[in-house]
Structure 1
């Protein structure tokens, strides 16, 4: 264990513990926190000089118990172990980022939806890619037939990314991209668009999901086997640390684990286990933990059991902080912080009585906010039936805005702290998550657990129990297994134009005809040769191929030839 390191948060690290520097030992924890609040407010002033209820009662910044010292488990907001949030003032200074997930059809059509959402007050972009793009196939590949533009936007070459981001300044808008196996390719396309806009890499912000382990566990849009996939991920860590320092290099996702049928404890446990696997892989590749850990982000689900969801978020922050500080010896407090995006639960939405979904989403969004999320996507009422219409997407965004501006829940930090129920749930979730982490450690870590199918079996068993409970009415789903309607009006649904696939293929073929194909060939050859060297970073070579307008499929096929394809357990 490294001893006597000094970090930038006024702590000594010694013998496995952090202690306050000598000149601050006489200060109380509350006084130290208040100093950090003052510094935070200098940078991000609070939204109001005074916060009050509708009756004029002043709302304090923070409420705390006078009965017991709980600093070891709770601490203060913005301080280890971050149970009460990762920022000293949380939403009193800035609301969470309202980042609605969108993408369908062509890049130009999706660009229109992005512009609409930004006009309606959205504060960040989130890109949904179609299935061929997610698994590294071009739109004209036989594997893509019937799927082009259906569940997200079709991106084949840099030209599509240019159209997708047309008129959107990448030095002012942060973008999240839900892409995993070909994340390196789509990130390079995003960076290349930034170059064309004249935006330096150092100013580009956003997130790529880049979480391949949960694809093996729960979702299935993988391409390569685990080892080369982990190499690509750590290549991204290294490249962004050197060139794109404000970009989140991974969004370690529990969302899809929950969608596959896990419970809240399993979602948190398997996500954190995967996070540890990425940290291990990065360290093994030669990176220092504090060089990449501050840019790790997480992605969680929010379901209907309100208090359990709040407790899950609080417990996850505390567990990750302890792991990063005590297990990995991270010295930078930013490395201890679990920063996360939340999406409301898609699997909780019903095709029956879709307007009921507005209520479900509101409840889930409120849990995410009360749990301290950094950004939030609210699902639309019709997503159990189709991609959301413009009206449905607007209502979903308005849900967030009403919570932010009308409910008052953002006016004080961690309003549920001190609730006997919430604190007990938080402790119990932490305990159960740690039991899962111990079991995964016994197996040999998350990668080994994935390869043996352990997490998959646990999720499948829980999903089976959920379905049994719904069918027996032990669990009531309003409008589905109780309070049904005899007749329902079919809502207006969004339909993707069937002619889009041919138009996308024609566009791709036109690009291939007008680009410098010799330059493309040279770039792909260089990428293939570099892929043979396990220690080489592939990102500069992928970026060169992207700049030459090589397609997603062409780049991924080169890597398929070298790495092979994963066929599952």
Structure 2
């Protein structure tokens, strides 16, 4: 039970929506002025197949695009690489060269719809392709909106997808932020992601604490390159999970928003309120979805979506009921999108800004979670900062311990999971429609890649790769212009990363037990 004694002594800690410290939301009117962006992720097969899914979702009322890439693309490999066999287009769309990116967005006005790309180690190459497509169509880069995830530090902590060692990877993130600050005023060059930290097993406290530690490292890296914080911080964006504990999730979003505002103002000297305003995309928790009784996943997703909305998300993805089996079918995607639309149009939650603000429980929990961020960052500082903490395996061990404890509680029944360890049906096999990948898609993609390599201008491709390598050797050079020329010369994703690996090296993680 909570009482007025659990409220902050200073009302300023709660404050007003759209004003520092932004506890109650980044904008004064929140959803009364504009609903969150409904951004269902999609990606499979070749670019043309995903393009058709995009068009379907837009026709159903989706207001933003989000792209999932296959494992070879995520790892900077080409579709015809021996390591890619069997994975091309399986868990996302395959993108090897610039013509693939052009096909992905065929018939879609990139100035009118924002695009989020879930990509990390090879993010800057996908950004270069996106820029080249936009320029070829005559778009104004300053009118493009969206984000690349590009959060490489959380890969070493949680998701485990990388190409290069930590420090050159940080340089690439820096280069994308600097380039976008100068050329793409509305674009978010990094989407700092607590979601994957949570999916790896972190609890809510660890998710926001480690995300803020990583955020601080990026801010320090870009500030060291000579940019004033107010020239780029307003374009940083964030990605959090919306987990099962409804009130904890609402408080988590409020706490991290407030902590960020204070950190950017007090530690980095920001003066523009827009720099202090944390804006985030939320996704419901894929790790909570179950194969037994899969229709239960619709209810889980709806309640998790509600906590994201009550916590003030700017953008939201709701998971498909079938995602414990495969990537979502069209039916599952439609139900997920309708879940958001029902929340927006039927429940009345958009009529009141931060309706849980002032709740004795929520305000107390918000304070507790904010203090927890400080406590974790103090430990990380003692280790020499976030990169040193990653290299020492600190965050990885914390997440591993949390994941083990959660799994132990679920196995013992202490943590109830309906349909799995409680209210279990003797026959829980419910027949549902699942997505089926075209078995010929991989062959079509590798054939196209070989044709593009054969048809390109070899002199231009050779000059482009030499320029890229020269810039990579210069720590003060920005890699983005040379990468844009490389993709224009029809160099492939794998060719670019393989060339740079000769300079940057590769990374092998020290196992954590």
Smaller-chain TM-score bracket: over 0.9
Matched-pair contact (CA < 8 Å) for 1:156–1:508: yes
427, 431, 442: which is aligned to 1:501?
Answer: 442
SS where residue 360 of structure 1 aligns? helix
144, 162, 187: which is aligned to 1:222?
Answer: 162
SS where residue 92 of structure 2 aligns? coil
Give, in whole Å, the separation in 1 of the partners of 2:384 and 2:39.
36
291, 296, 300: which is aligned to 2:231?
Answer: 291
State the shift of 1:69 in Å.
7.4
Question: Does 1:95 pair with 2:35?
Answer: yes
State the shift of 1:489 in Å.
2.8
Give, in whole Å, the separation in 1 of the partners of 2:15 and 2:443.
58
Alignment of 1:21-60 (within 5 A): none
- 1:189 counterpart residue number: 129
Question: Does 1:261 pair with 2:194?
Answer: no
Which structure ranks higher in relative contact order (CA pairs < 8 Å, sequence separation ≥ 6)? 2
State the shift of 1:391 in Å.
0.3
- 1:353 counterpart residue number: 293
- 2:474 counterpart residue number: 533
Matched-pair contact (CA < 8 Å) for 2:282–2:308: yes
- 1:481 counterpart residue number: 421
State the shift of 1:496 in Å.
1.1
Give, in whole Å, the separation in 2 of the partners of 1:427 and 1:129.
38
- 2:489 counterpart residue number: 548
Question: Does 1:231 pair with 2:193?
Answer: no
Give, in whole Å, the separation in 2 of the partners of 1:333 and 1:492.
47
State the shift of 1:359 in Å.
0.4
Give, in whole Å, the separation in 1 of the partners of 2:11 and 2:169.
40
Give, in whole Å, the separation in 2 of the partners of 1:259 and 1:175.
23
State the shift of 1:557 in Å.
1.0
- 1:320 counterpart residue number: 260
- 1:48 counterpart residue number: none
475, 491, 499: which is aligned to 1:558?
Answer: 499
- 1:153 counterpart residue number: 93
Alignment of 1:34-433 (within 5 A): 70-433=10-373
Matched-pair contact (CA < 8 Å) for 1:311–1:425: yes
Give, in whole Å, the separation in 2 of the partners of 1:520 and 1:496.
33
Matched-pair contact (CA < 8 Å) for 1:180–1:221: yes
- 1:34 counterpart residue number: none
C-alpha offsets along residues 214-234 of structure 1, whole Å, 9 cap, x if unaligned? 100111111100110010011
Give, in whole Å, the separation in 2 of the partners of 1:435 and 1:151.
37
Matched-pair contact (CA < 8 Å) for 2:192–2:238: yes
C-alpha offsets along residues 120-176 of structure 1, whole Å, 9 cap, x if unaligned? 000000000000000100000111111100110000001000110000011111100
Question: Does 1:467 pair with 2:407?
Answer: yes
SS where residue 218 of structure 2 aligns? helix
Give, in whole Å, the separation in 2 of the partners of 1:546 and 1:335.
32
Distance verdict in 2 for CA 1:341–1:327, change over 3 Å: same
C-alpha offsets along residues 188-222 of structure 1, whole Å, 9 cap, x if unaligned? 10011111211021111110100001100111111
State the shift of 1:68 in Å.
8.9
State the shift of 1:237 in Å.
1.0
Give, in whole Å, the separation in 1 of the partners of 2:431 and 2:383.
49
Which structure has the larger Rg? 1
SS where residue 240 of structure 2 aligns? strand
SS where residue 253 of structure 2 aligns? helix
Matched-pair contact (CA < 8 Å) for 1:247–1:295: yes
Matched-pair contact (CA < 8 Å) for 1:169–1:197: no
- 1:24 counterpart residue number: none
- In the alignment, structure 2 segments of 5+ residues that lack a partner are 1-6
Give, in whole Å, the separation in 1 of the partners of 2:104 and 2:487.
15
Give, in whole Å, the separation in 2 of the partners of 1:303 and 1:238.
33
Give, in whole Å, the separation in 2 of the partners of 1:310 and 1:493.
32
Matched-pair contact (CA < 8 Å) for 2:111–2:143: yes
- 1:446 counterpart residue number: 386
* CA root-mean-square deviation: 1.3
How many residues are treated as equivalent by the alignment? Answer: 505
Give, in whole Å, the separation in 2 of the partners of 1:193 and 1:68.
50
Matched-pair contact (CA < 8 Å) for 2:71–2:88: yes
SS where residue 176 of structure 1 aligns? strand
Q: TM-score, normalised by structure 1?
A: 0.87
Question: Does 1:514 pair with 2:432?
Answer: no
- In the alignment, structure 1 segments of 5+ residues that lack a partner are 1-66
State the shift of 1:70 in Å.
4.0
State the shift of 1:71 in Å.
3.2
